[in-house]
Amino acid sequence: MSDSRVLGKVAYVTGAGQGIGKAIAERLAKDGFAVSCADFNIDAANQVADGINKNGGKAIAVKVDVSDRDQVFNTVKETVEKLGGLDVVVNNAGIGPSTPIEEITPEIYRKVFDINVGGTLWGIQAAVAAFKKLGHGGKIINASSQAGQVGNPDLAVYGGTKFAIRGITQTAARDLAHLGITVNAYCPGIVKTPMMMGIAKEVADAAGKPFEWGLNQFAQNITLKRLSEPEDVAACVSYLAGPDSDYMTGQALIIDGGMVFN
């Protein structure tokens, strides 16, 4: 059921073409947001936007490589022009290769940080510019991870980006509060998406083990004894995007089924 408090508001979600981003876009549309589905894979983003529109929501798809600052600014501008405003930016897009310490190369380091950390910084910057031009504050929501809370096997580079995103979230919260902007993050656990399944396979293959062994390296200590659905994460982001979280900023909400206990 939609929330009358967000009707007429606009959300820009990166990585909305599949996985967690798709679930976030669909949930925010159900909540009542008009949604800009931003993704490198424009065909996938179009499918998500078409599905939202067919279900009575309002959505567009925009092609973006979040590692390219100009593309992020241009697609945020396109969102404002086509949907009539902007209130929430979800910096969800990311890549997650497994990187055994001795196999890390400068190329993979730069690529993962450019997308995961650069994409978050450019999304924050573009959101601030749009909110200021529109004359109001807003909400910025960044994708961290349980792997941004504790070190995970073979994820030194990816996990490093997720730790970085928590720190960026805290600093941005402090720096942007005077503009009426809150900045928070979400830390999913082991979510059934192509990214996670890919990591599990890479870890298993590197160890010469079956896929299930690789997945279990990450999923064996989930208190609730089930993998996360993308919709579990979208429910957390729905809270962060809505007015009930207005008094929250600089936080990284852990939505992992009970893996990390701070």
Residue 222 known to bind ligand: no
Residue 65 known to bind ligand: yes
Q: For residue 259, what are the CA distances in angstroms to 101, 107, 152? A: 23, 31, 12
Rule CB under 6 A: is residue 147 a binding residue for ligand CC(=O)C(C)=O?
yes
In sign, the C-alpha dihedral spanning 161, 232, 191, 6 is negative
Which residue of 48, 199, 204, 255 would you call a contact of ligand CC(=O)C(C)=O, by CB under 6 A?
Answer: 199
- The amino acid at residue 152 is N
DSSP state of 187: E
Tell me the C-alpha distance between 119 and 93, whole Å: 8
How many residues bind ligand CC(=O)C(C)=O (CB under 6 A)? The answer is 10
For the chain, give the number of residues: 262
Per-residue contact string for residues 102-141; x = within reach of ligand CC(=O)C(C)=O by CB under 6 A: ----------------------------------------
Q: Are 27 and 235 in contact (CB under 8 A)?
A: yes
Per-residue contact string for residues 22-51; x = within reach of ligand NAI by CB under 6 A: -----------------xxx--x-------
Which residue of 36, 79, 152, 182 would you call a contact of ligand CC(=O)C(C)=O, by CB under 6 A?
Answer: 152
Q: Are 203 and 154 in contact (CB under 8 A)?
A: yes
What is the contact surface with ligand NAI in residues (CB under 6 A)?
Answer: 14-15, 17-21, 39-41, 44, 64-67, 92-96, 115, 143, 145, 188, 190-191, 193-196
